[in-house]
């Protein structure tokens, strides 16, 4: 969601701050701002409602200083406005703060600070932090001590960076539920809420843990806890390339990432297929075969597309390993006081590894003694560190808000896990070889689907003006329908609903009309005849049908058809999903939407 960047060193901070914020635009935001500690004293602040480009235009030429912080805001407390944009300052304009997260006791703190003479200039919870830190920054008190004392009175989540006009030789950052990453340079240091802001400048990073702070100076950093105990963080190396953060000649990041899927699938599979024993190598699980045989149930937790990928993963696990598996929204999980079973394996799914609802679900499972694996894309992320083991996707950075290649790689990871589970249980070597061969064939089959992009663009233009769309699929196809509907509504703003095809006649059939087309998933499997019967029911009511199929239905059953290559039945959903990504993308382009940054949404949701 919101983005943080910070710089301290011999150079001018402003160019880095503006570029870093531009690299965080994909997270979703409505305003932006920067603050620098000038070399002649004082803190200069510029902030605007709007885009980073608007901020850059508002920053004066002589806006210079070697220590600075910046922010992109996604409104939670207060409407998008210049006043509510970060950074926020105290009344003396000595302290400047940028903040991701939510201060839950902000109203209480605001009342107390107002009674003590503080004058608030915004509606935000963040401004409370600036006044609270300033109240503790009395004469002779180090900035880190003032920050630590202030945070001791705060209830909520935060990732913050703090600047002090009287101590411009340092920046203090802190984390609790919202990511902060330090970047180590040559006689300069960086900090950000996401490594994408740092990779052009350094590959050496340090991830803060929850409840941890850092004092960052040009020549290094010191980490410590909220009770002042020193911690020791070792840097890790970021292996993502800077080119991953450019569009590479594509019109949008989303289109680029859709077309990157053959390569991202190959990376997810790389080194993990064992043809000799017809299984998968997954050493990161930290579970041996005996422990895996004791698992009696699998529970998958994710939000949005991660949840739908979990539904596809649950079906794979049940089909290949014959272990009961279920996916549910992580955002609801801990609020229903879940029963945590000793023989259940919990799997947390998150592209960023920082999704707050999913992280909280992981912590709930661990608090009750459960075992949790992570399926994440970002090495060193909070969920990856919190879990007992897991699978890294290696899909590469995903910049567009809508997930495509990370979604596909997540399902691939579940296919590998299901294969591994299955071969430990009762999946035969012949079936194992069948799945291994099908997984190896997927990248080229995805390329076949992507070659139809122009044709799908034509279909998207024809359907984009619809009042809404219905997506249907049976059994393996239903999670694909849900993900397809999600993609269409989040980037094109066309209302879309997904239903099991078998449920159409139990209510949704009343909606069918020429104005409400249906996207139907029609794989060539054991349910083909039933799916064709459903298409007949829709056509009998003058509904339009766009079929995604292995072979085209009769003309009387579908107005249009997108053909995809046939895989094994268990893996067909992966290929059926790719055309739906392209359909959503081209519909959004036809409707002139902001494809990479859809309204009201953010890439990594680090608040509840």
- The residues, any chain, with a CB within 8 Å of residue 250's CB and separated by 6 or more, are 256, 259
Determine the Cα–Cα distance for residues 358 and 171; give it in Å rounded to an integer.
30
Half-sphere exposure of 221 (CA within 13 A, CB side): 34
Cα angle: 250, vertex 456, 243; to 5 degrees: 20
Element (H, E) at 562: strand 560-563
From 2, 303, 387, 561, the catalytic residue: 2
One-letter-per-residue 3-state SS of 365-433 = HHHCCCEEEEEECCCCCHHHHHCCEEEECCCCCCCCCCCCHHHHHHHHHHHHHHHHHHHHCCCCHHHHH
387 is catalytic: no
Half-sphere exposure of 350 (CA within 13 A, CB side): 33
Strand partners, 4: 71
What are 10-14's contacts with CB under 8 Å, separation 24+? 10/66, 10/187, 10/188, 10/218, 11/66, 11/188, 12/64, 12/65, 12/66, 13/65, 13/66, 13/67, 13/68, 14/59, 14/63, 14/64, 14/65, 14/68
64 is catalytic: no
DSSP state of 339: P
From 49, 539, 597, 603, the catalytic residue: 603
Sign of the Cα torsion 141, 143, 149, 150 reads positive
The catalytic residue positions are 2, 603
């Amino acid at each position: 969601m919101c983005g943080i960047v910070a710089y301290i060193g011999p150079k001018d901070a402003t160019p880095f701050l503006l570029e870093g914020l531009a690299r965080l635009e994909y997270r979703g935001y409505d305003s932006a701002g920067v603050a620098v500690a000038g070399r002649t004293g004082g803190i200069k602040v510029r902030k605007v409602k709007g885009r980073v480009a608007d901020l850059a235009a508002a920053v004066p030429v002589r806006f210079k200083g070697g220590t600075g912080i910046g922010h992109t805001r996604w409104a939670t407390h207060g409407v998008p406005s210049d006043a509510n944009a970060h950074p926020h300052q105290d009344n003396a304009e000595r302290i400047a703060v940028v903040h991701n997260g939510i201060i839950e006791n902000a109203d209480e703190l605001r009342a107390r600070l107002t009674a003590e003479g503080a004058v608030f200039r915004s509606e935000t919870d963040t401004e409370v932090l600036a006044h609270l830190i300033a109240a503790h920054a009395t004469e002779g008190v180090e900035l880190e001590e003032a920050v630590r004392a202030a945070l001791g009175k705060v209830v909520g989540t935060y990732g913050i960076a703090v600047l002090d006009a009287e101590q411009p030789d340092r920046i203090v950052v802190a984390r609790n539920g919202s990511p902060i990453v330090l970047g180590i340079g040559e006689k300069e240091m960086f900090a950000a809420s996401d490594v994408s802001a740092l990779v052009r400048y350094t590959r050496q990073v340090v991830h803060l843990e929850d409840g941890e702070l850092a004092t960052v100076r040009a020549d290094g950093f010191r980490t410590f806890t909220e009770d002042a105990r020193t911690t020791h963080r070792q840097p890790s190396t970021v292996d993502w390339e800077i080119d991953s953060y450019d569009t590479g000649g594509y019109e949008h990041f989303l289109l680029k990432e859709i077309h990157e899927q053959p390569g991202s699938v190959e990376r997810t599979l790389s080194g993990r297929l064992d043809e000799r024993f017809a299984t998968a190598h997954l050493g990161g699980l930290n579970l041996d075969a005996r422990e895996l045989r004791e698992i009696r149930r699998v529970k998958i937790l994710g939000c949005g597309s991660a949840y739908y990928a979990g539904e596809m993963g649950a079906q794979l696990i049940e089909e290949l390993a014959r272990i009961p598996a279920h996916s549910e929204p992580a955002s609801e999980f801990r609020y229903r006081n879940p029963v945590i079973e000793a023989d259940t394996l919990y799997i947390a799914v998150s592209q960023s590894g920082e999704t707050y609802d999913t992280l909280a679900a992981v912590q709930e499972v661990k608090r009750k003694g459960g075992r949790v694996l992570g399926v994440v894309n970002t090495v060193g992320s909070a969920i990856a560190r919190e879990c007992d083991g897991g699978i890294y996707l290696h899909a590469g950075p995903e910049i567009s808000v809508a997930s495509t290649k990370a979604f596909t790689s997540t399902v691939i990871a579940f296919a590998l896990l299901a294969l591994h589970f299955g071969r430990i249980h009762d999946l035969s070597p012949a079936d194992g070889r069948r799945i291994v061969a099908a997984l190896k064939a997927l990248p080229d089959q995805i390329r076949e689907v992507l070659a139809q992009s122009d044709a799908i663009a034509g279909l998207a233009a024809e359907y984009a003006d619809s009042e809404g769309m219905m997506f249907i699929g049976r059994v393996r196809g239903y999670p694909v329908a849900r993900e397809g509907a999600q993609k269409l509504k989040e980037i094109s703003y066309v209302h879309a609903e997904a239903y099991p095809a078998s449920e159409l006649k139990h209510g949704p059939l009343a909606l069918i009309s020429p104005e409400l087309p249906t996207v139907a998933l029609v794989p060539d499997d054991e349910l083909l005849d039933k799916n064709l019967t459903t298409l007949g029911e829709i056509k009998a009511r003058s509904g339009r049908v766009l079929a995604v199929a292995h072979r085209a239905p009769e003309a009387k059953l579908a107005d249009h058809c997108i053909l995809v290559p046939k895989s094994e039945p268990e893996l067909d959903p992966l290929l059926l999903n790719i055309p739906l990504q392209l359909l959503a993308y081209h519909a959004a382009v036809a409707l002139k939407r902001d494809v990479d940054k859809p309204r009201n949404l953010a890439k990594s949701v680090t608040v509840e």
